[in-house]
Structure 1
Amino acid sequence: MATASAPSSFAHLPSSRHELAQRWELAREPIADASSGPKLRYLVGELSHLAEPVRRPFRRIEVAPAAEIRTVMLLPGFATHPIRMRYMARQLERAGHKVKRWGLGFNFGPTEDNIRYLERRLIEVHERYGREVHLVGWSLGGLFAREIAKRHPDRVAKVVTMGSPFSGNPRANNAWRAYQFVTGHRVDQPPIQTDICDKPPVPTVALWSPRDGIVSARSACGRACERDRAVALRCTHLGFTYSPEAIGAVLRELDAA
């Protein structure tokens, strides 16, 4: 089955001064309630990511052969490219798993077009390898993973989210203003019909961290009715894609039934 061309990642970015002004107003909206993102010290802690290129050559992650080979699709976070998940992909491949990109380039938020494309991408990967796909989504990528799992539960083995804000107030994070500027819609009014809190009808695991400087720990952990399990880690939000702890957690979820 051939996959249709992916919609452009940049198609819904502001294209005129008027639209730019509208996006700016969205980004400047006052907070209507008491919800807020993680504390400033955790946000500052995200700067440790800048030292990652220096540390990485000296790090060795122990990866055991997979108990069973899985087909995995990685979905990147908001405003990031799949290349940001390449290090994790390599570690999963070292274990023997088949790792596939989501095919959409930068993640600049949901649209009907990119959701439909992801559905076709999931169907293509499922049919190519003849087994259900494990979806691993970082931050906003985890919301995409949950959504396509709701639409095609027969093709998804498990959803693993990493620091994804699927629970509680959509503004309980430190990125919602940037999100509204980039996407052109309010964070609590996505241009698709969905309830992000609803659990997909497949095993759903939420990896979260109390040290997350971007997304509220409560939002990423969720309530018991919104996921099957929650696993606490000690990494930063940006560290979900490269920390040995996070990669080890993902490998364990792939090994689990």
Structure 2
Amino acid sequence: MATRPPFSGLPPFPLKEGEFARRIALAREERPDEEFGRPHALRLLAELDILAEPARRLVRRLEIPASARPRTVMILPGFGARSRKMRYMAEQFERAGHEAKRWGVEGRNWGPTPERFARLEDRLIELHARKREPVVLLGWSLGGLYARELAHRHPQAVAKVITMGSPFSGSPRANNAWRVYQFVTGHPVDAPPVEADISAKPPVETVALWSPYDSVIAPRCAAGLPGERDRAIALRCTHLGFTYAPEAILAVLAEFERD
């Protein structure tokens, strides 16, 4: 396999002359009717629950059963997040006996680009070849959309796709993040620079974790419709909580045990 040059995944800032105005215009696009169903913006205050999480961990220890089916798991973070955002969850997987692997891109997830996606493909192929078995793809939010497309392109390398609060169904604007996404990435949320049919079910088992308390992504978009995923599992956590809530961690661990 050819070695690609280092790619940090940094956003293209500072912006060139005229680019800032173009991105402001993208962020200020008229809100379409198809946004119906998105969480009310005030519900974003619920995401402040994450501030109490460090204190909770001082007095909480999850009971993690040893796995009867250890897996290799490639973890893909959400928009604007680094791999370390999901480190706590990865540590719980490792306690159970699984191997949790990073996504292979340095820095934050600033949206899809051909270069970033090529990196992800290389990472998946490398893990599959090294472990000599298909890899579980676990994607949070935008990372789940990457996971679904990776499974479309390399199904032989993927054992299962698990998404957490990922908007793969319905309108890509039925959420509270699309304006920020368009400003940061510089492209419309429904016209990414990487060709993908995100609502089409990958040819591997695909499980969608969603929450009615998600204040970023419309629950219906994260749950999907029959035919877009194999199963949908409802949790009771915030959008950020998918990465640390005990029920989210235990739900993912339970999925690892299923063939």
Q: Kindly report the root-mean-square deviation, in angstroms, between the aligned alpha carbons of the 2 structures.
A: 1.4
Structure 2 spans left out of the alignment, 5+ residues: none
Aligned residue for 1:32? 32
Mapped to 2, the partners of 1:209 and 1:2 lie a distance apart of 41
Aligned counterpart, 1:214: 216
Q: Distance in 2 between matches of 1:14 and 1:169?
A: 30
Is the counterpart of residue 135 in structure 1 residue 113 in structure 2?
no
1:68 Cα offset (Å):
1.1
**Who is 2:49 aligned against?**
48
CA deviation after TM superposition for structure 1 residue 6, in Å: 4.3
| 8 A contact 2:34–2:174 mirrored in 1 | no
Q: Equivalences for 1:57-68 in 2 at 5 Å? A: 57-68=58-69
| 1:255 to 1:13, Cα distance in 2 relative to 1, 3 A | farther
State the identity as a percent: 58
What's 2:256 paired with? 254
Gaps of at least 5 residues in structure 1 are none
In structure 2, distance between residues paired with 1:156 and 1:90: 22
Q: TM-score of the superposition, structure 2-length normalised?
A: 0.95
TM score, norm. by length of structure 1: 0.96
Q: CA deviation at 1:113?
A: 1.1
Higher mean alpha-carbon deviation, 101-110 vs 36-45, is at 36-45
Paired with 2:121 and 2:174, the residues of 1 have a C-alpha distance of 28
Tell me which moved more, 56-65 or 228-237.
56-65
Residue 15 of structure 1 corresponds to which residue in structure 2?
A: 15
Give deviations 1:144-179, integer Å, cap 9, x for gaps: 000111000000000000000000000000000000
Match of 2:73 in 1: 72
Whether contact under 8 Å (1:76, 1:137) holds in the other structure is yes
* Partner Cα distance (1:102, 1:192) in 2: 17
In 2, the alpha carbon distance for the partners of 1:233 and 1:14 equals 39
Matching residue's letter, 1:95: A
Aligned length: 257
Shift, 1:7, TM fit = 2.0
Aligned to 1:182: 184
Contact 1:2 1:124 survives alignment (8 Å):
no
Summarize the alignment of residues 98-113 of structure 1 with structure 2, pairs less than 5 Å apart: 98-105=99-106, 106-113=108-115
